[in-house]
Structure 1
Amino acid sequence: MAQDEAVIGCTGELLIGTRGSAGPGEILVRVRGGSETFLAWSQEPLPRGATVLVIESRGFREVDVIAWGDPLDTLGGLSAGVD
């Protein structure tokens, strides 16, 4: 099955948590000017509501994900008082 390369590198929110090797969850991803859902697989279980990064497409509507934290969030206190 052909990969969906447009979704690789996108972030999204887990609507249904993943169960690691025991089974997929479901992710909502903003892609192609809208939002789409995919089955989401991860190496370790991830909870519902987690922000994840799509690292691979398995083909039709299935992706591999990892936990994702926005690196700019850590800069929040650094920009205060900068003109």
Structure 2
Amino acid sequence: MDTAPEPSSPLEEAITTAGGVGALAIRIGVAPSAPSMWKQRGRVPAEHCPAIERETGVRCERLRPDVAWDVLRRQEAASTAAADLVEPKAA
């Protein structure tokens, strides 16, 4: 049986899920060469992790375990809750 190789990193998993390097780049709005450069460097810039997570489901924590994503997620949740108090969402 011929099976696809397992992704070797979270970035590889995101690339595979997106449908390739070019597809990932388009989906997250970066230059087509950016994901390949990140692969070579072994590091995704933190500012691109949320878009990768949104588009592929690969969590920021896996892409960049060195970033305190839990702190950022709590801040985002608090900001969203505060904004909802000021301007409730339409039903």
TM-score (norm 2): 0.24
Higher strand share: 1
Look at both structures and tell me which one has the larger radius of gyration over its CA atoms: 2
TM-score (norm 1): 0.26
**Larger relative contact order (Cα-Cα within 8 Å, sequence gap ≥ 6):** 1
Higher helix share: 2
